[in-house]
């Protein structure tokens, strides 16, 4: 797969990155090098290799999945700039 100048400009526009005309050729080479490397990775034989979540063997810590109400509504509401009757007050955004 090869990237042309028009594709570089389109990618930059989609990513909302300002790219000057004199930078397009350099970025084209960079993107083509990245895509060539990804194609090389596709040639690697990974048959029988288990997926990893980390480079070091470790078990993920877990906790029980339990629903709570927070048990302290006053502490939760203390974070609100304004509250009323136990609820957050937010500014009206629809007219």
Question: How many structural domains comprise the chain?
Answer: 1
Residue 25 placed within a domain = yes
Residue 37 placed within a domain = yes
Residue 81 placed within a domain = no
CB atoms within 10 A of CB 28: 18
Residue 55 placed within a domain = no
- The one-digit pLDDT tens for each residue of the chain (95 residues) are 789 999 999 999 999 999 999 999 999 999 999 999 999 998 999 899 888 877 887 787 888 888 876 778 888 888 888 989 988 898 888 87
Residue 26 placed within a domain = yes
Residue 36 placed within a domain = yes
- Report the alpha-carbon distance of residue 21 to residue 3 in Å, rounded: 16
What range does the domain containing 13 cover?
A: 5-42
pLDDT of residue 56: 83
CB-based contacts of 74: which residues, under 8 Å, 6+ apart? none
pTM, to two decimals: 0.51
């Amino acid at each position: 797969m090869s990237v042309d100048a028009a594709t570089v400009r389109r990618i930059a526009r989609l990513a909302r990155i300002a790219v000057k005309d004199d930078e397009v050729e350099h970025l084209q080479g960079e993107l083509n090098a990245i895509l060539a490397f990804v194609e090389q990775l596709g040639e690697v034989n990974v048959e029988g290799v288990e997926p990893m979540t980390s480079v070091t063997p470790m078990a993920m810590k877990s906790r029980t999945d339990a629903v709570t109400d927070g048990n302290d509504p006053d502490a939760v509401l203390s974070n609100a700039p304004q509250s009323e009757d136990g609820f957050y007050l937010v500014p009206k955004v629809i007219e």
